[in-house]
Amino acid sequence: MTMTDDSTSRHFVREIIENDIKTGKHGGKVVTRFPPEPNGYLHIGHAKSICMNFGLAADFGGRCHLRFDDTNPETEDVEYVESIQEDIHWLGFDWGKHLHYASDYYEQLYQFAIQLIQAGKAYVCALSSEEFKAYRGVPTAPGKESPWRNRTIAENLDLFTRMRAGEFAEGAYVLRAKIDMASPNLHLRDPVIYRINQTPHHRTGATWPIYPMYDFAHCLSDSIEGITHSICTLEFEVHRPLYDWILDRLKTPCHPQQIEFARLNLTYTVMSKRKLQELVAAKVVSGWDDPRMPTLAGMRRRGYTSEGIREFCRRVGVTKVNSLSDFALLEHCIRDDLNKRSLRVMGVLNPLRVIIDNYPEGQEETFEAQNNPENPTAGTRQIPFSRVLFIEREDFMEDPPKKFFRLAPGREVRLRNACFIKCERMVKDPATGAIVELHCTYDPQTRGGNAPDGRKVKATLHWVSAAHALEVEVRLYDRLFTKENPADEGDGTNFKQHLNPDSLKTITAYVEPSLKGAQPGNRCQFERIGYFCVDPDSTKAKLIFNRTITLQDIWAKIRKAEIK
């Protein structure tokens, strides 16, 4: 399996790599890595990073590692380790034998810390975390040196060895790099590189009472693995001097180059794992794979294709400027891809009964329908027709305005793949006045979809035979948030205040019987309505469909209407 991030997408990271190959930097090799922390499920933002790291490696004949950045036992879990692997494979990428864990390097990292102490470049500090912050100060004025900064190397070695032996309580000591308390970059003001933590780790158990901090573990893990280009998001730009400082002071196998790019943000959703975790914990959604979530597991369940997501990642491109991408662009890519691959079926979401008065009771026949007009090799299927049908309630109007060409009293329309019907009369509920059913006649001459006398109709409706249709559950999704950028809490609101109360609507619908036996994950287009995907909650007795996406961007339509 090799997928590339598409050689047509040119960007500055690609240019840096091309140039490095030309000049022979890193021996002309390209080794990248995707380094998730296993503290949540992957989201669409991660997909951008995955496509770039695995894509670039494939394009340049290099390799990409999957490394779990598992240095925080409190928030990490094997559930996440497993889901992350599943999601990357689903996206279409593979790390081969290069599955790594920062936790596999704990002993090596510990030895590197000893090296740093021996070089007089790290010390054990006993400041409390409040004192630590106060001493560190603000960027505009120098910080204050810790009273423990000038311990002897022997003292530091003794204390650090005892930290590792588990002699001290959490928070009693930390190991700090000895850099520069006056640096305008706070990350260089003697950053913590090891802390005491007694929480058992999901892989190493209780072996380690101390854990390396991200900044220490990350650059060294990159170096241990022979990474050439360490691609990360923009917020790590200010960490780069520390990344380089650590590697410059230690005897390491190599010095990877850190390159930063802008993270992906999407309108009407949040991307931080902490916030997504909050939604899961508060049961606002059914889980990490709720189809409304921006997670890859959620999008997969909803029916999004990996091809559509990869195309989206290619289109948003790679830049150095943080921005908010339009969810509509993602939907456009998904729609485009689904259009090519989806089999067409008929399903009625909001049924109105239609009785064909001149069609004999008890009789039935089948009509042939194309499975995908976009793909002639997709074949055909038979659809049953009988005296009682369901059509979409919105396809009938008692008193139609000028531009409404669908069914109305006295009017003739085409039933898709079947014949012409004409509306003769309506039956109303005497109490409410609501239309209960329509009585129509059909023209047997129009079987196959056209009238021999050449008369035309202005609309074609989808339909199902009431006696043959399957009753199914359909879950209609909308945006999870009503605010364009809910993560921006600068206006004093919490992101959860902007949840869309109507993001999920569950209805009963009727679909053609060819869908019997459909399996979770199967996708199709309900003609004239949208794309749907069978949900894993389905049972033998009842199919459940997720609406992946509507046929058109209904929000764009609404926006247009508002502007008019």
Cβ proximity to Mg ion: between 63 and 239 the closer is: 239
Q: Is 285 in the site for ligand ATP (CB under 6 A)?
A: no
Residue with the closest Cβ to Mg ion? 37
Cβ proximity to Mg ion: between 435 and 487 the closer is: 487
340 Cβ neighbours under 8 A, 6+ residues apart: 374, 375
Q: Is 478 in the site for Mg ion (CB under 5 A)?
A: no
Distance CA 441, CA 16 (A): 70
Number of helices and strands in the chain (H, E): 13, 25
> Residues in contact with ligand ATP, total (CB under 6 A)?
14
Q: Is 49 in the site for ligand ATP (CB under 6 A)?
A: yes
Cβ proximity to ligand ATP: between 46 and 189 the closer is: 46
Which of ligand ATP, Mg ion, none lies near 45, with the C-beta cut-off 5 to 8 A by kind?
ligand ATP
Distance CA 323, CA 223 (A): 31
> Residues in contact with Mg ion, total (CB under 5 A)?
1
Distance CA 222, CA 151 (A): 30
Q: Is 35 in the site for ligand ATP (CB under 6 A)?
A: yes
Cβ proximity to ligand ATP: between 36 and 62 the closer is: 36
Identify whether 273 is a catalytic site residue.
yes
E-strand ranges in 293-379 read 343-345, 347-348, 351-356, 364-370
Q: Which stretch binds ligand ATP (CB under 6 A): 265-273, 332-340, 399-407, 465-473?
A: 265-273
Which of ligand ATP, Mg ion, none lies near 48, with the C-beta cut-off 5 to 8 A by kind?
ligand ATP
Cβ proximity to ligand ATP: between 109 and 346 the closer is: 109
550 Cβ neighbours under 8 A, 6+ residues apart: 529, 530
Distance CA 244, CA 238 (A): 11
Residue type, 88: I
Residue type, 353: R
Find the catalytic residue in 121, 149, 249, 263. 263
Q: Which residue has the tokens 């970059």?
A: 185
**How far lies 422's CA from each of 21, 361, 413, in Å?**
71, 18, 7
Query: Would you give the DSSP letter of residue 266?
Result: B
Which of ligand ATP, Mg ion, none lies near 49, with the C-beta cut-off 5 to 8 A by kind?
ligand ATP
Q: Is 273 in the site for ligand ATP (CB under 6 A)?
A: yes
Please give, one letter per residue, the 3-state secondary structure of 86-112: HHHHHHCCCCCCCEEEHHHHHHHHHHH
Q: Is 100 in the site for ligand ATP (CB under 6 A)?
A: no
Which of ligand ATP, Mg ion, none lies near 233, with the C-beta cut-off 5 to 8 A by kind?
ligand ATP
Q: Which stretch binds ligand ATP (CB under 6 A): 44-52, 171-179, 456-464, 519-527?
A: 44-52
Which of Mg ion, ligand ATP, none lies near 46, with the C-beta cut-off 5 to 8 A by kind?
ligand ATP
Residue type, 480: L
CA nearest to 414, candidates 465, 439, 388, 448: 448
Joined tokens for residue 172: 């009693």
Q: Is 37 in the site for Mg ion (CB under 5 A)?
A: yes
Q: Is 264 in the site for ligand ATP (CB under 6 A)?
A: yes
482 Cβ neighbours under 8 A, 6+ residues apart: 268, 498, 499, 500
Cβ proximity to ligand ATP: between 82 and 365 the closer is: 82
Shortest distance in whole angstroms from residue 72 CB to Mg ion: 9
With CB under 6 A as the contact rule, the residue among 19, 272, 380, 494 that binds ligand ATP is 272
Distance CA 266, CA 270 (A): 7
CA nearest to 391, candidates 366, 433, 426, 363: 426
Which of ligand ATP, Mg ion, none lies near 291, with the C-beta cut-off 5 to 8 A by kind?
none
Cβ proximity to ligand ATP: between 34 and 531 the closer is: 34
Residue with the closest Cβ to ligand ATP? 45
Per-residue mark of binding to ligand ATP, 217-256 (x: CB under 6 A) = ---------------xx-----------------------
CA nearest to 189, candidates 250, 109, 231, 127: 127
Which of Mg ion, ligand ATP, none lies near 445, with the C-beta cut-off 5 to 8 A by kind?
none
Q: Is 482 in the site for ligand ATP (CB under 6 A)?
A: no
Q: How many CB atoms lie within 10 A of CB 460?
A: 19
Distance CA 389, CA 440 (A): 10
Shortest distance in whole angstroms from residue 37 CB to Mg ion: 5
Q: Which residue has the tokens 């003697």?
A: 190
With CB under 6 A as the contact rule, the residue among 46, 164, 195, 335 that binds ligand ATP is 46
- Contact in structure between 521 and 546 (CB atoms under 8 Å): no
Distance CA 243, CA 46 (A): 22
279 Cβ neighbours under 8 A, 6+ residues apart: 285, 293, 496
Shortest distance in whole angstroms from residue 67 CB to ligand ATP: 10
Task: Compute the residue count for the chain.
Answer: 564
Which of ligand ATP, Mg ion, none lies near 263, with the C-beta cut-off 5 to 8 A by kind?
ligand ATP
Shortest distance in whole angstroms from residue 382 CB to ligand ATP: 47
Q: Which stretch binds ligand ATP (CB under 6 A): 9-17, 45-53, 171-179, 507-515?
A: 45-53
3-state secondary structure of 215: helix
Query: Would you give the DSSP letter of residue 326?
Result: -
Helices marked H in 60-171 — which ranges? 78-91, 106-118, 129-136, 153-164
Identify whether 37 is a catalytic site residue.
yes
Q: Is 271 in the site for ligand ATP (CB under 6 A)?
A: yes
Q: Is 278 in the site for Mg ion (CB under 5 A)?
A: no
Q: Which stretch binds ligand ATP (CB under 6 A): 58-66, 271-279, 288-296, 364-372?
A: 271-279
Residues at the site binding ligand ATP, with contacts judged by CB under 6 A:
35-37, 45-46, 48-49, 232-233, 263-264, 271-273
Positions marked active-site = 37, 263, 273
